[in-house]
Amino acid sequence: KNSWLEELNEFYLNSSALKKIKSIFDQNWEIRNSASKNLKKIRSDKNRLENNLEKVMITCYKKAKKNGLLHEENIQLFDNRKVLSISASNKRKIKGAIYGQSQTGKAIYIEPIEVINIRNELQEIYFRESNEINRILLELTDVFRPDLDKIIKGYSALINLDKFAAKAYLAYEMDSIIPIFSDQINITNGKNPILLLQNKKI
């Protein structure tokens, strides 16, 4: 069986690939805006539209409030969408999509048409962002594809080294060693790790 040193020699190291990974992912493993020029442009457009969506929603709310159409004095959240709570008697006075009503039926939850138009643009942006991220990740995968066998061996070596470390740590904590078995066995003050972990007296 390989020694721990031989296991270390099986580790997969690729400095250029590591540099590529760092250029794509930040410290939280999120895709950087700078991962590609196209992604940077897409996210810039996304931020602009998201900010515009908020502004338009506030404008619609103020207009509905001024015209006395509101049932509740705040922008509401319904099924993860920001909507206006409009009095049922006024529901035809505002254009938009109806997503539900209150339990009493006195309030209708409407997303104004101006907001819907921007949200549709955002959905397209989200789709483009997802496609660009997939393209970036596939391109990154191609960097590692030629080294697949080395990566698999390195992963196996990492698992084995982790096992060795776990056994060594457990032995240290229990003040024990792993026995080496031969034709003749003579165990003095033997310890069963399973029973020790269960705090059972031997």
> What confidence tens digit (pLDDT) does each residue in 122-175 have?
999 999 999 999 999 999 999 999 999 999 988 988 888 888 888 889 889 888
- Crossing angle of helices 15-24/113-144, nearest 10°? 180
Which residue matches tokens 């033997």? 190
The pLDDT, as a whole number, for residue 116 is: 92
pLDDT over 90 at 109, yes or no: yes
pLDDT, position 131: 98
Higher pLDDT, 7 or 73: 73
pTM, entire model: 0.70
Long-range contact pairs involving 148-156 (C-beta distance under 8 Å, separation at least 24) = 150/12, 151/12, 153/10, 153/12, 154/10, 154/11, 154/12, 155/12, 156/10
Type of residue numbered 50: E
Please give the torsion angle defined by the CA atoms of residues 83, 88, 90 and 94, in that order, rounded to the nearest 10 degrees.
30
What one-letter code names the amino acid at 76?
Answer: Q
Residues in CB range of 62: below 8 A, 6 or more apart? none
Tokens of 54: 């908020």
Calpha distance 168→40 (Å, rounded): 48
**pLDDT surpassing 80 at residue 202:** no
Question: 3 falls in which pLDDT band (50, 70, 90)?
Answer: low
Flag whether pLDDT at 60 surpasses 90. Answer: yes
